[in-house]
Amino acid sequence: MILEDLYRLLRSGHVQAQGIVDTLTQPLVVLDQNFCVINASNAFIHTFGVERDAVLGNSLFSLGNGEWDIPDLRRLIADIIPKAASVAGYEVTHDFPTLGRRTFLVDARRLVHPDNNSTSILVLFDDVTESNRQEMERNLILSETRHRMKNLLSVVRAIAMQTETEERTAEEYRGVFLGRLDAALRAQELAPSRENTDFAALLESAVIVAGAERVRLEAGPAVELPSSRVLPVSMIFHELATNALKYGALSVPQGDVRVSWRMAASKGERDMLVCEWREENGPPLRPPSRRGYGTELIVGTARHLGGSAELKFDASGLTAIVNLPIQDRHDARRPPS
């Protein structure tokens, strides 16, 4: 039942009006011209934990310890209603002694009794605290989803634009592109799970390619990377694994890869993670005649993160030394909590 229907019943003096009022789930009061309560629904009595005898005949603004003497509510009933006749959905937020902080949508309307020409005010309270909280949560989730989708699309675009097409067939391009995209998606799955990500777990995810069982991760210290570094670091080691599969140790049955890491003090404010990627028993390698995208991705990404990457090509296989700060610059300057 809406306020308009209830208004018509009370105005006509219908004998069932009080019974209908008491079936409402929203708290409701009827006030006289002096804002004293002349009627209150059961929902009002139960919701606010008051006695009916303590409510009837008393000013709404003086009930209890003055919990209803809310400036917004007083303005609504005392100032707006006499001029506007009715108001719907007026939001009031207040700390109630028995309920805590709650938000109500208040509907109010003047109620004219034709028999005695007196004017009362019908006030209905709709508790929207929980629905508002849920709406806020939905909006936050939607905003976060949009943000992540925007970031993901940016990553996809960057991978597509930076994957070389020269001297590649469409099938080869697709394979390289999808491989890098899979690595990016696996990194994205790791990053949201917690604030920091274990470096060893990130390595395992990054080197998932054919022959990955021959990439051996040697024991190193436990290292946590901030979420901002998960994707770029993952792309570095995915590129190393992909190149090893195509040209290096993983391209032959007897070849394998050893990966080790340690922490080292740096000259600056940040600790450095030093990771060594060593390929063994693979085909002899010669330094490339030109710096391709794969090399640029590895070296350029490490430099962008404030570190470095050195690639050594020799007859025994590729050795890559990757130095990475484990914190962003602004995080390193923060005092310990």
DSSP 213-263: GGEEE------EEEHHHHHHHHHHHHHHHHHHHHTSGGGSTT-EEEEEEEE
pLDDT category at 136 given cuts 50, 70, 90 is confident
pLDDT above 70 covers a percentage of the chain that reads: 76
**Extents of the domains making up the chain:** 3-127, 194-332
- Cβ atoms 3, 104 nearer than 8 A: no
Give the chain's end-to-end CA distance (angstroms, integer).
55
Question: Is the domain defined by 3-127 classed in CATH 3.30.450.20?
Answer: yes
Q: What is the pLDDT of residue 267?
A: 59
- Residue-wise pLDDT for 162-175, tens only, equals 667 776 788 777 87
Answer whether residue 308 shows pLDDT above 90. Answer: yes
- Cβ atoms 273, 261 nearer than 8 A: yes
Q: What is the pLDDT of residue 337?
A: 36
- CATH level 2 (architecture), domain 194-332: 2-Layer Sandwich (3.30)
Most confident among 18-27, 99-108, 205-214 (mean pLDDT): 99-108
